Chain A
Amino acid sequence: MKNLLILGAGTAGTMMANKMRKTLSREEWNITIVDQFKTHYYQPGFLFIPFGIYTRKDVIKPKNDFFPIGVNVIYSKIEKIEPEKNHVLLDDGVVLSYDYLLIATGTRTAPEETPGLKDKLWHKEIFDFYTIEGAVALADFFKTWQGGELVVNIAELPYKCPVAPLEFVFFADAFFTERGLRDKVKITYVTPLPGAFTKPRATKMLGELLKTKNINIIPDFNIAEVNNDEKKIIDFGGKEVKFDCLVSIPTNLGSKVIERSGMGDDMSFVPTDKHTLQSRDYKNIFVIGDAANLPTSKAGSVAHFASEILEENLMCAIEGRPYTASFDGHANCYIETGYCKGTLIDFNYDTEPLPGMFPFPGVGPFGLLKVTRTNHYGKLLFRWIYWHILLKGKEMPIDSEMQMAGKKL
């Protein structure tokens, strides 16, 4: 028997386990997936928790619900990958050997990278919302907060789900307006980027949206430290921003196992061919999702589109054929803008987000770079799709390759 080993049972790893169990012969291939945690989090739902729209129970399910029959599941910490030996060492001394390895170990927030961030105000007046603990603590804080300076800061690029901090400030604007507190809450968006987003049209559209909602933006801010006593963030150039409540998107780093194995770049992301998804250093290792150093968004949609490419290319590798699939960096993000409305962006390595209709040209029903009610319901519906279709590796009615039809140049 041959062994396919998958490290990480988050969105990407779980999808791949489902896809590969259908594709690979059960007589010839064992599939094993390893993860240290038994709970699967619907991470797009974390954003909704601080505003009381979702609670913890809305975003968790047991990981066991999503693995197909015929996949060995091991709940254990991973100590080290030894790519030269085709081995993975687990925490308890177990050694797993593989013929092919899929790395899907994701990214983690590392607040300890910024001096003063995870200090005495952590989860008291300084929060993150990329962990369930942070999101729940912030929900409790907002319940009784009477207003002040609300500062949302992105520590460093790249970070997971690049639109989430924008959605956060849009939600905050609506949340405090509905509570009659908006005139007491000053919202400031502090980012290392030169504007609201990276690409010109989306930056313009989202920048204008911030303006209409009376949200200040401070661009080109690279945080150096947090001063807990004077409640301010300071950047490397000496710029200071005061806060009463700081919501931080901490530095994102790859998994520690990547660092321990000496397989990562300076942020512990694995160097990966951006089209084939093969590791740049090892022929029998492929990388999917946030763990890879691909120049595209770290997001579930990207992992989903990449999973179709990876399934095909992995079969090419196994059968000794040249690669037939090429990943284009496709990302698709629903952006909540508050008041039951949302916008949508669809882009890849080469094409910036453009206006138009999605997924059906001229018909939609979703509007690209437009604020509509349908987009918001698309996002809400997505939670159901995530649990029931996406994780299980079933077909979705959206092409993995980005389409130009329906877009306006």
Chain B
Amino acid sequence: MILFEEVSKVYAGNFSALKEVDFHLKQGEMAFLTGHSGSGKSTLLKLISLMERPTTGRIVLNGNDISHIKGNDIPYMRRHIGMIFQDHRLLMNRTVLENVGLPLLIEGYNQYEIKRRSLVALDKVGLSGKEDYAPIHLSGGEQQRVGIARAIINQPPLLLADEPTGNLDPKLSLEILSLFESLNEFGMSVLIATHDLGLIAKMRYRTLTLKEGIMINDGLMRERNG
């Protein structure tokens, strides 16, 4: 699904954000990406979501080498990645339904199909009946769920989440992670970037740990309690 081969990223001013990172996330696998602020988590996610290009090394996504992908191909490649952000990145001037249906609108689905699928996706994330709300009228947790519904609506093979529980209380955080688990059960690969080690410890998944741009650990962090 995702293959990193000796990937480095150097920003202007000779700042090395990633240093020869290697890892392989298989199809249907769920993993955490952790590390302190500035460890390179966001850079790694940006490389996968094609917001940045690697300075050296090779990135393969879903069988396609995206290290030197052409600019015109980026939108089509992004349609195969569901992205979830800490700040949700919702369109506040549109309804929940319109936000969720955005990827399908872009892909050229008709209005009937967009509405049908959006309602199913909202039901899946527990937001049935809130389709006509403006996102501003929803709580932080609900907004995050809208973001998740938008990310999964076009059934991407890969789900990337950048600090998806950063603004949520522990109970809501666990609910969101359970949601990711259920999506993973459907066959989606899931990569969650978080610095919440407590949360990672409660789950039993592979954890990639970055420190100053170097992958220092790749494996299970700890057995889940209970």
Bound pair (A, B) = no
Give the interface of A toward B (CB within 8 A). none
Give the interface of B toward A (CB within 8 A). none
